[in-house]
Amino acid sequence: MIVSNEKIALVTGITGQDGAYLARLLLEKGYIVHGLKRRSSSFNTSRIEEIYEDPHTAHPRFFLHYGDMTDSTNLIRLVQETQPTEVYNLAAQSHVQVSFETPEYTANADAVGTLRLLEAIRILGMEKRCRFYQASTSELYGLVQEVPQRETTPFYPRSPYAAAKLYAYWIVVNYREAYKMHASNGILFNHESPLRGETFVTRKITRAAAAISLGRQEHLYLGNLDAKRDWGHAKEYVRGMWLMLQQDEPDDYVLATGETTPVRTFVEWAFEDVGIGLEWKGSGVDEKGYCRNTGRCLVEVDPRYFRPTEVDLLIGDPAKAKQKLGWSHETSPRELAREMVQADLQVMQDAPVVKGV
Ligand code: NDP
Ligand code: GDR
C-alpha cells in the first residue's frame, strides 16, 4: 500500500453545517478531502455544492463516499481506502429535541458510531499516524454546575443526545490514553451560520423573521424563550477544530464566545433586522410577541417545543483555546443574527412559502 505524504482528511458529517465549512477550509489549506455522506432519497449535498468536484476532472481533491456511522464494515473500508492523516468526526444525530424521540438511534450514531470509527483506525493499525477530532459539545455540561463552563467543569448531560456525546467524549479520551492516539475533543458551544439546519432555534427564528417581513409567514411558534446560549459563528469554530489537530499533543478544548444571550433576545434582534419592533405580553406558555406598530401577534410559545429536561444556561470560557491554540471568536452573537437574517432575506426573495418547522 502506498502511504502518501499529502495531508488527507476524512470528514464524517460533511453534508452538515460544520462539515461544509470545514471542507472549504481544508481544501484552501491544500488537503485532499474525503467526505462521508449518507444515502438519501433526495439531494442532501446542497451545502457543499459549490466545492463539489466531478471525479472525472483531472486531479480532483474532493471526494464523497456513501457511508453511515452505524455501519462498521463501511467505516473500516473507508478508512482503509482513503488512508487519512486526519479524521474529523462531525457526523451525528445532532438535534437535542429529536434525541428524546429517537434515543436508541442517537446512541447508535453518536456514541457507538464514534467507537466504530476509532476502532476502524485501530484495526487498520493507523492509530499512530492518523489524528482524530471529535465533535464534543457544551450540551455535556447540561444542568449548571459552574459558570462559565470550562474544560474542568463537571458534566451533567440532560438529553439522550448529551448522554451519547458523553460516551463519545470519554471513549476518545480512553483511546488517547490507551493507544497513544492523537485524539482530541472540541467542546464546542453553539455555533450558527446561514448554513445552520432550519430546525435549530437561531435559523428557525431568522428564517421566520425574513418570511414574516416578506408577508410569506404569519406566525413563529417557539418553545422555551428563557434558555440562554453562547452563540458563535460556525466558520470560525471549524478553524479551531483544525488547530486542535495541528498541536504536538492531543487535548480537549472549549470553543465559545464567552457571551450568553436568551432565545427571546435573539428573536428581538432578528425582527429588529427586518424592521419590526416586538413587544412581549404574558409569560410562560401564554407569552406572545406583538408587532409594536400594527399590534399583530407574530411570535407564540407552543409547549410542543419544550424539552423534557432543558439546558438553561450555557456560557463558555475559551481561555485555554486562546492561550494554547491562539483561537478566539470574531463575530458577536448580535452580528451573527444580522448575517443570518440578511442571508435568509436573500434566499427568500425567490423561495417558495415557508412551512412551519
Ligand atoms: P448537522 O446536523 O448540520 O450535521 C450533521 C451531519 O451528520 C450531517 O452531515 C448528517 O448527514 C450527518 N449524519 C447524521 N447521522 C449520520 C449517520 N448515522 N451516519 C453518517 N452521517 C450522519 O450538525 P452540525 O454541522 O451543526 O454539527 C456537527 C457536529 O458537531 C455534530 O456532531 C454535532 O452534534 C456537533 N456539535 C454541533 C454544535 C453546533 O452548535 N452546531 C455544537 C457542538 C457540537 P445528513 O446531511 O444526511 O443529515
Ligand atoms: P441546542 O440548540 O439544543 O442548544 O443544541 P437548539 O437551537 O435546538 O436549541 C437552543 C435552545 O432554544 C430553545 N428553543 C428552541 N429550540 C428549537 N430547536 N426550536 C424551537 O422552536 C425552540 N424554542 C426554544 C431550546 O429549548 C434550547 O434551549 C445545539 C445543537 O447544534 C447540538 O448538536 C449542539 O451540541 C449544541 O447546540 C451545542
pLDDT tens per residue across span 132-171: 999 999 999 999 999 999 999 999 999 999 999 999 999 9
Q: Is the Cβ atom of 188 under 6 angstroms away from ligand 1?
A: yes
Does the fold of domain 198-229+261-313+332-348 match that of domain 8-188? no
Of 49-53, 199-203, 217-221, 327-331, give the lowest mean pLDDT range: 49-53
Q: Which residues pair with 87 in a beta bridge?
A: 10, 132
Torsions phi, psi of 11, nearest 5? Answer: -115, 115
Q: Which pLDDT belongs to residue 133?
A: 99
Q: Which residue has the cell 442532501?
A: 44
Residues placed in the known binding site:
219
Question: For the segment 171-183, what is each residue's pLDDT rounded down to a tens digit?
Answer: 999 999 999 999 9
- Percent of the residues in the chain that have a pLDDT greater than 90, as a whole number: 93
Mean pLDDT of 213-242: 98
In the structure, what pLDDT confidence band is assigned to residue 56 with cuts at 50, 70 and 90?
Answer: confident
Per the prediction, the chain carries an average pLDDT of: 96
Distance in angstroms (rounded) separating the CA atoms of residues 223 and 87: 36
Cell numbers linked to 147: 459558570
Q: Which residue has the cell 405580553?
A: 281
Q: Is the Cβ atom of 162 under 6 angstroms away from ligand 1?
A: no
Checking if the pLDDT of 219 tops 60, the result is: yes
Q: Is the Cβ atom of 19 under 6 angstroms away from ligand 1?
A: yes
Distance in angstroms (rounded) separating the CA atoms of residues 221 and 357: 9
Catalytic residue among 31, 141, 161, 253: 161
Checking if the pLDDT of 354 tops 60, the result is: no
- Assess: ipTM above 0.90: yes
pTM for the model stands at 0.97
| Domain 8-188 CATH class label | alpha beta
- Percent of the residues in the chain that have a pLDDT greater than 70, as a whole number: 97
Catalytic residue among 137, 153, 202, 331: 137
Q: Which pLDDT belongs to residue 344?
A: 98
Q: Report the atom number in ligand 1 closest to the C-alpha of 109.
A: 18
CATH code of the domain made up of 198-229+261-313+332-348: 3.90.25.10
State the maximum Cα–Cα separation within the chain, in Å, rounded to a whole number. Answer: 70
Domain boundaries, the chain: 8-188, 198-229+261-313+332-348
The rounded Å distance from CA 14 to ligand 1 centre is 8
Residue bearing the bigger pLDDT, 230 or 349: 230
Instruction: Give, using CA atoms, the residue closest to atom 12 of ligand 2.
Output: 201
The rounded Å distance from CA 41 to ligand 1 centre is 18
